[in-house]
Amino acid sequence: MADISLTASMRSNLLSLQNTQSLMDMTQERLSTGKKVNSAIDNPSSYYTAQSLNNRANDLSALLDSMGQGIQTIKAADEALTTITSFAEQAKAIANSARDVSGNFDKYAITSNEVTEGITGDFVLDARADLSTFNLKLSTADKSAGAKFTVYYGNNQSKEITIDAATVTAGDTLGDITSYVVNQLQGLGLNAEADASGNVKVSSTDGTAISWVNGSGATKLADDASAAKKVSLTADGNGANSATIAGAIKDAGVTGLTAAADGKHFSVMAKDLQFRIFAADDSLANKEALDKLGIEGSRKAGDASAITAERTSYAKQFNQILEQIDALANDAGYKGINLLQENNLKVIFNEDRSSMIEIKGVDASSKGLGISQAQNDWQKDSNIEAAISSIEGAISKLRTIASDFGNNYSVVQSREEFTDNLINVLTEGADKLTLADMNEESANMLALQTRQQLAINSLSLASQAAQSVLKLF
């Protein structure tokens, strides 16, 4: 198509009008998009820089969601920990209540301390219906044999009585022997009465326990029925551990008295009989042996194996609480991660995964906390004490775990807040490079509209010169 000839003034005005229209188109685009840089053509440096900032902000936004879910996982575990701690404290209260109930075992049995090393020493065992009295059966043969026996009275004072020619000087008759023995016993402050058959009935004046131990071998009394028994322990023999000591007590042959080992402890009992354990003499070795064993003392007659129903009930409640602890630890998961079942949680903090935190899971079940089911239905004080000790240890452990989770929660929450603020900084930086000033662009549009109108008017004036040619026709 052939070019159309325009006057110089018209062409100048036309070019001005076209430039104005181009500026108006650009301004309209800015007003419609809100951005002054809409593509790389507008400003390559600003466009690509802003795009990089926005891309990082988008990556961090995805991580921000992950952090939020991580916080919820920790919160779920922390809520469970709070309740588990409450359950543990409830279990401790139950155990304390059970301890306040008098149990038959500890009322009628004696339990030793832990035997962790060999014990050397001598002690006496005595079990009878009434410890404040005993009977002797004497005979004329006791004097010829030089029989000996030891009487324990008062605060475990002892006196050895020997029946021989040097002590029984009145004669060899049974009456002479019984008279001598009665006088010796009365001299100790005891009640003693003998009959013509050589039977001597002995009792304490104040109801305290009294015992007698027969001599050994040829020097013992002919009758041994009511005698207490002496047990001698050696560290490398029958005193080596709780089992061997319990065996030595059983082998002593005290009628009605039994002993049983229980781990590093052993227990002594005599069903429906009074019994006591005391040092064979005042020697330091014997006293130290009893101190290590912790068995010196006495018990009234009763059945140590009789079940205490109230303690059994408390033990059942305790076990039910442990079941709830296990169930709660199992239910503390969030989106497949349970920090209380040893699942680990990894939270990423930046887009290249160089900054993160890994929260180690724990076993918050009763087993993981070191709490066992109530042993022996809590019939023994030692079982209850062991339960209380394990509960106290578990509560301490729970508090430590809660502190660790709280610290991790604080870290993740702080990083979440930082990431949220950083996303705002990145977005704001990108906006400063690309967003248009709407007030300025509006003013520009108004100015361009005015310029366009003036350009149109100017073009119209320039065309009037060409229009004057028509007047020649």
Q: Are 267 and 285 in contact (CB under 8 A)?
A: no
Total residues belonging to the chain:
473
Q: Are 201 and 86 in contact (CB under 8 A)?
A: no
State how far the Cα of 309 lies from the Cα of 294, in Å rounded to an integer.
28
Does the pTM exceed 0.85?
Answer: no
Higher pLDDT, 127 or 155: 127
The pLDDT of residue 94: 97
Longest CA pairwise span in the chain (Å): 190
| Nearest Cα residue to 212 out of 124, 130, 138 | 124
The pLDDT of residue 214: 93
Residues in CB range of 332: below 8 A, 6 or more apart:
76, 77, 79, 80, 338, 339, 340, 341, 364
Q: Tell me the average pLDDT of the chain.
A: 88
The pLDDT of residue 60: 83
Secondary structure (H, E, C), the chain: CCCCCCCHHHHHHHHHHHHHHHHHHHHHHHHHHCECCCCCCCCHHHHHHHHHHHHHHHHHHHHHHHHHHHHHHHHHHHHHHHHHHHHHHHHHHHHHHHHHCCCHHHHHEEECCCCCCCCCEEEEEEEECCCCEEEEECCCHHHHHCCEEEEEECCCEEEEEECCCCCCCCCCCHHHHHHHHHHHHHCCCEEEEECCCCEEEEEECCCCCCEEEECCHHHCCCCCCCCEEEEEECCCCCCCCHHHHHHHHHHCCCCCCEEEEECCEEEEECECCEEEEEECCCCHHHHHHHHHHCCCEEECCECCCCCCHHHHHHHHHHHHHHHHHHHHHHCCCECCECCCECCCEEEECCCCCCCEEEECCCECCCCCCCCCCCHHHHCCHHHHHHHHHHHHHHHHHHHHHHHHHHHHHHHHHHHHHHHHHHHHHHHHHHHHHHECCHHHHHHHHHHHHHHHHHHHHHHHHHHHHHHHHHHHC
pLDDT digits (tens, 9 = 90+) for 343-391: 999 999 888 888 889 999 999 999 999 999 999 999 999 899 999 999 9
61-100+309-420 CATH, one of 2.60.40.10, 1.25.40.10, 3.40.50.20, 1.20.1330.10: 1.20.1330.10
pLDDT digits (tens, 9 = 90+) for 12-50: 777 777 777 777 766 666 666 666 666 666 677 777 787
- Is residue 306 over pLDDT 90? yes
Task: Give residue limits of the domains in the chain.
Answer: 61-100+309-420, 106-299
Range 148-168 average pLDDT: 92
The pLDDT of residue 1: 45
pLDDT band at 54 (very low <50, low <70, confident <90, very high): confident
State how far the Cα of 146 lies from the Cα of 167, in Å rounded to an integer.
10
- Percent pLDDT > 90 in the chain is 66
pLDDT band at 437 (very low <50, low <70, confident <90, very high): low
Range 431-436 average pLDDT: 65
pLDDT digits (tens, 9 = 90+) for 221-267: 987 878 999 999 999 999 999 999 999 999 999 999 999 998 899 99
Q: What is the dihedral of CA 52, 58, 64, 69, to 10 degrees?
A: -150
CA distances from 360 to 50, 63, 68, 328, 370 (A): 39, 20, 18, 19, 19
Look up residue 254 and give its two tokens: 């005290």
pLDDT digits (tens, 9 = 90+) for 281-295: 888 999 999 999 999
The pLDDT of residue 326: 96
Q: Are 87 and 321 in contact (CB under 8 A)?
A: yes
State how far the Cα of 424 lies from the Cα of 229, in Å rounded to an integer.
89
Q: Are 275 and 211 in contact (CB under 8 A)?
A: no
pLDDT band at 462 (very low <50, low <70, confident <90, very high): low
Burial class (CB in 10 A: 0-12, 13-18, 19+), 289: buried
Higher pLDDT, 463 or 225: 225
Residue with tokens 């205490």: 308
Look up residue 151 and give its two tokens: 């009487």
Interior/surface letters 315-350, b for 16+ CB within 10 angstroms, e for the rest: bebbbebbeebbebbeebbbeebbbbbebebebbbe
